[in-house]
Amino acid sequence: MSTPPDQVPPPPPPPPGPQTQIAGQQSAPSTAVPHVPAGPAYTPAGGQTNNLAVVSFVAGIGSFFAHIIPGIGGATVALIAIVTGFMARGQIKGTGEQGMWMANAGIIIGFVHLALIFIVVLLLLFVIFVLGIALFGIAAHSGSTPTPIVSG
């Protein structure tokens, strides 16, 4: 059976004489810590980062690896980086969020990737055209048809 709280006897007083202390269990600090007014707490520089800027930056970098995805490819992801980058720039100018550098980087990386794709396609067409002329030109003059001899 339990005793009601108002009938519980108080704890016994500590015994007189020196108390045994274990290291680290002092009742008062051994040195005084000077009170220094607290400095400003850390606050983020200007709020949160724009989500479309992050999407633009990640899509710009990911566009170089997206060529392995059939049907989507790197050009589509580069276009996504460019479009979301311009959308993010507009939002950042209006709201003052962070992430302008990510939006700009996504736009630049997307344009560079599209330019590289264009150059590779042009080079590929050039090589096919030059090799085609060279191969078919040689085959056309390989001597399979006799050349007419003019007699007089």
Asked whether the beta carbons of 99 and 84 are under 8 A apart, the reply is no
Mean pLDDT in residue range 42-57 = 82
The DSSP secondary-structure symbol of 2 reads P
Q: What percent of the chain has pLDDT over 70?
A: 72
Domain boundaries, the chain: 51-136
In whole angstroms, what separates CA 73 from the centre of its chain? Answer: 19
pTM of the model: 0.59
Task: Measure the CA–CA gap between 59 and 65, rounded to whole angstroms.
Answer: 10
Mean pLDDT in residue range 57-71 = 90
Question: Is the confidence at residue 64, as pLDDT, over 80?
Answer: yes
Amino acid identity of 80? I
- The more confident residue out of 19 and 109 is 109
Give tens-digit pLDDT for 1-11: 677 777 887 87
